[in-house]
Amino acid sequence: MAPVIENKPTFCRICEPLCGMIATVEDGRLMALRPDKDHPLSAGFACQKGIAFTEVVNDPDRVTRPLRRGPAGFEEVTWDEAMADIAGRLSAILRRHGSGAVGWYMGNPGAFSYAHTFAALLFLKGLGRHGHYFTASSQDTNSRLIASQLLYGVPTSVPIPDLTRTDLLVMMGANPVVSHGSFLTAPRIKDRMADIVKRGGRVVIVDPRRSETAAAFEWLGIVPDTDSLLLLSLLNVMFAEGLVDVAAIRVRADGVDWLRSLFGPFAPESTAASTGIDADSVRALARDLVNTPRAAVYGRLGTCVGSHGTLTTYLIDAVNLVAGNLDVPGGSVFSTMNTVGQRWQNVAMGAVMRRSYRRKRSRISGTPYAIGSEPAALMAKEITTSGDRRIRAMFVSAGNPVLSVPNGEELEAAFGELELSVALDFYVTETSAQCDYILPVTTMYERDDFPYTFQGFQATPFRQATEAVLAPVGEARGEWDIVAELAGRLARSVPAFAAFAGVRKVLGLLGFEASPRTMIDALVRMSEGGDKFGLRRGGLTLRRLTEKHPHGVVVAPHIRTGVLREAVGYLSRRVRLAHPGIAAEVDKLARRAVPDGYPLRMIGLREPRSENSWMHNSPMLMRGDRRQHALMHVDDAAERTITDGDEVRITSPHGAITVPVVTTKDLVAGVVAVPHGWGHKGTGSWRLANRAGGANVNQLTSSDPGDVEALSGMAWLTGVPIRVERA
Ligand SMILES: Nc1nc2c(c(=O)[nH]1)N[C@H]1C(S)=C(S)[C@@H](COP(=O)(O)OP(=O)(O)OC[C@H]3O[C@@H](n4cnc5c(=O)[nH]c(N)nc54)[C@H](O)[C@@H]3O)O[C@H]1N2
Ligand SMILES: Nc1nc2c(c(=O)[nH]1)N[C@H]1C(S)=C(S)[C@@H](COP(=O)(O)OP(=O)(O)OC[C@H]3O[C@@H](n4cnc5c(=O)[nH]c(N)nc54)[C@H](O)[C@@H]3O)O[C@H]1N2
Ligand code: SF4
Ligand SMILES: [Mo]
């Protein structure tokens, strides 16, 4: 019989542009992925990782049956055996210690699946009030979210640059030519940035490294972890030179005078020595930001993971506000789904989040919970520190924290103390290898999806949904199904799960399905372009989206502006500038000291053919015997008689690693860049990744409670003091 070959439009969910893809499926097996020419925004673009994903789906090293760790390593078990044992052990732990004994870490790919996000949250919160929730966000975005919560009263109101209309884009700490954009969903982002230059505008990249993006546009080199000083002096110049329309700011924001007292002492002449940016450049940039009618400052990973990430992010928004660039066309704008009742959702959600922020604190560091989650940098100590709420059972889904959070060795050892540990993953990773069970999950092409998390960051308002393009490989299951079954088995010991089962049953009898899919459908229907449950004929539903618009649909040509009052969750409807926590961070800037003996600063580096830690097993991406290496300035290398290709020992106050080095002039002197996500040392099952090995850069970063950022619990990942010597 002739094989059945189908070409199905869908989209990639490895990183944030969500590029359109055509999946070729032959007799139920994924044969190839190619870029979708008919996607309105990605229009035939996909990167190497997206294409290589076929090798992940079909990876011979993939876990496709439940694994249990026995004395002689992992052995396959049935789902029923695994679930029965996990439920039994978990209910015993709950009985003895309560919900405070349970932790869940959800890693980055979780954010790309609406069902997974719902599953992790509902499960943990369903167990009781005291569970520990961790995500990759404390190594990524929590500082951004908390800055929004302080300024706008709600963490999810995150402004993004109006990419398609701006004439001056200042990007700090982002390298979208490699990362493809973050907190900014813009397929073909490099082309969209080139358009700015084509229409006579400018793109300025503030970065310690002349990154791939800086090389394509204008580079302004900065000393790592000093962005807040640069931003304070931009504000200083704007006010000192009388460039600011103070009355206009007062209409939109409370606390303008408070803000003035904050940046008063930071004239650009006083910050130049620290930032490495001379006063004239700062003054010129301040004037350009005010005088260009369509200008925006945007910051991302590099500004979020410094030692003052919340302050830096707060100041980026303050600069946009003061320069008159917030919520105006071509400025820094709020991209929303324009859902019915959005304003009141923001008020309600803001109140809940701010309450939890005020009341809940990390047991170890005392830092407030950020959007209901705790610092992952302290996960190991939450497991090993005795007392009330000590973690005894840990779930890890879509994460590899042994490589991604500070001090992986400490975390790896801590896993040995757990009474129960369960990974939901399709690989034996450095982390899942430490678990009692590995439950095999579907990859993105084996599940339906709607990229709920990224709707608020769309540079062009756009919707796309997909059905699964192939059936689960082996015995893989979706995260929601796994959690729903576990909740069912726990219904007798967990009242919330019993209640949930009851509600589902009643709704089922009435013909409603209580599932994440129903909720996402409702969201699509109530948002821009939606059918408003029949009020708008022909409008979008989740089903209409997949059936009528398989390549996705642009719902508006541009992001709406003039929506600040809707975006703000405070009842005042005005931006709130005065926060004692922000002032305390500014005070700390002056008191920052570096321990003796660590003259250099370590920063991160993302590579086009890596995705954090988990795509190093794809032959296509590992072509040419790829290895990890650090980048070092030629002068710093010469001073230490280090030459290209040498193995170097990098030491921080927290640990040491050995890596080969490449020397370059494309760095601010004194800076060393080291990619994360390497350090595959054979505990995982991925053969190719293990052969490539590398070093875990997070042995250099700190899991000391004192080094967790005070306002958002962020890990400190950039500007880390180091010294380097030839190994
Ligand atoms: N190819 C590839 N793409 C990815 C990923 C990947 O691993 N590989 N990961 C994805 C993920 S999870 C994310 S969150 C996004 C992140 O995407 P981006 O936000 O674009 O982050 P990075 O690519 O890490 O670029 C951060 C830049 O900040 C600079 N930097 C470091 N420290 C400082 C500092 O103190 N100040 C300033 N101004 N700059 C600094 C670095 O030199 C670097 O060029 O990328 C996503 N896309
Ligand atoms: N030093 C340093 N550390 C960093 C960073 C840095 O720049 N420098 N970046 C930080 C950032 S921005 C991030 S986002 C984190 C990432 O940190 P993590 O999210 O902890 O780690 P990843 O390497 O992304 O691992 C993702 C895991 O999810 C699995 N997976 C993939 N798809 C799915 C799925 O659909 N379902 C399930 N259940 N599993 C899946 C993969 O097999 C892999 O094991 O790292 C952070 N750590
Ligand atoms: S840039 Fe690459 S990895 Fe990211 S969504 Fe597009 S194809 Fe996927
Ligand atoms: Mo990330």
What per-residue confidence (pLDDT) applies to 515?
Answer: 86
In DSSP terms, 575 is beta-bridged to 253
| Residue 83 counted as domain residue | yes
Same domain (yes/no): 400, 291: no
CA-nearest of 427, 393, 159 to 298 is 159
Tell me: pLDDT of 590 over 90: no
CATH number at residue 662: 2.40.40.20
Same structural domain, 324 and 192: yes
- pTM, two decimals, is 0.98
CA of 688 to the centre of ligand 1 (A): 25
Asked if residue 655 belongs to a domain, the reply is yes
Task: Place 391 in a pLDDT band, splitting at 50, 70 and 90.
Answer: very high
Is there a single domain that holds both residue 184 and residue 239?
A: yes
> Quick one: which ligand is closest to 479's CA?
2
Environment class of 281 (CB within 10 Å of its CB; exposed 0-12, middle 13-18, buried 19+): middle
Q: Above 80 in pLDDT, residue 375?
A: yes
- Residue nearest (by alpha carbon) to ligand 3 atom 2: 47
396 and 312 co-located in one domain? no
The pLDDT tens digits for 466-490 are 999 999 999 999 999 999 999 999 9
Domain tally for the chain? 3
Quick check: is 426 in a domain? yes
In this structure, the answer to whether residues 173 and 109 fall within a common structural domain is no
Specify the DSSP class assigned to residue 661.
E
Task: Report the percent of the chain where pLDDT is more than 70.
Answer: 100
Q: Starting from the CA of residue 609, give the closest ligand.
A: 1
Query: Within this chain, do residues 548 and 570 fall inside the same structural domain, yes or no?
Result: no
* Predicted confidence (pLDDT) per residue in 181-233, tens digit: 999 999 999 999 999 999 999 999 999 999 999 999 999 999 999 999 999 99
Is residue 17 in contact with ligand 3, taking CB distance under 6 Å? yes
Same domain, 113 and 194: no
Ligand nearest, relative to CA of residue 689 = 2
Answer yes or no: is 236 within a domain. Answer: yes
Give the pLDDT band of residue 493 (cuts 50, 70, 90).
confident
Pairing between β-strand 647-652 and β-strand 600-603 as defined by DSSP bridges = unpaired
Structure tokens at 558: 């541009």
Strand 671-673 to 630-633 pairing? antiparallel
What is the whole-number distance in angstroms between the Cα of residue 397 and the centre of ligand 3?
21
Q: Which atom of ligand 2 is nearest to the CA of 137?
A: 14
- Confirm or reject: Cβ of 614 under 6 Å from ligand 2: yes
How far is it, in rounded angstroms, from Cα 244 to Cα 287? 10
* Closest by Cα among 114, 52, 89, 112 to 524: 114
Q: Are residues 603 and 575 in the same domain?
A: no
In a shared domain, residues 244 and 302: yes
In a domain, 31, yes or no: no
Query: In this structure, are 376 and 502 located in the same domain?
Result: yes
CA of 603 to the centre of ligand 1 (A): 10
Report, as an integer, the average pLDDT of 632-653.
97
Find the Cα–Cα–Cα–Cα dihedral 408, 413, 415, 419, rounded to 10°. Answer: -170
Q: Which atom of ligand 3 lies nearest, measured to the CA of 180?
A: 1
In a domain, 220, yes or no: yes
Give residue 136 CA to ligand 4 midpoint distance, Å. Answer: 7
Question: Could you tell me the distance, in angstroms and rounded to a whole number, from the CA of residue 605 to the centre of ligand 3?
Answer: 18
How many angstroms separate the CA atoms of 58 and 31, rounded?
Answer: 9
Could you tell me the residue range of the domain that residue 665 belongs to?
596-726
Predicted confidence band at 11 (pLDDT cuts at 50, 70, 90)?
A: very high
Is 47 close to ligand 3, i.e. is its CB under 6 Å away? yes
Q: How confident is the model at residue 289 (pLDDT cuts 50, 70, 90)?
A: very high
* Residue 512 confidence (pLDDT): 77
Q: How far is CA 399 from CA 141, 212, 291, in A?
A: 15, 27, 44
Q: Is residue 16 part of a domain?
A: no
Residues 317 and 400 in one domain: no
Question: What radius of gyration do the chain's Cα atoms show?
Answer: 25
- Asked if residue 438 has its Cβ within 6 Å of ligand 2, the reply is no
Residues 236 and 376 both lie in one domain: no
Q: Got the DSSP string for 370-409?
A: BTTBB-GGGHHHHHHS-STT---EEEEES--HHHHSS-HH
Read off the pLDDT of each residue in 70-79 and give the average, rounded to a whole number. Answer: 95
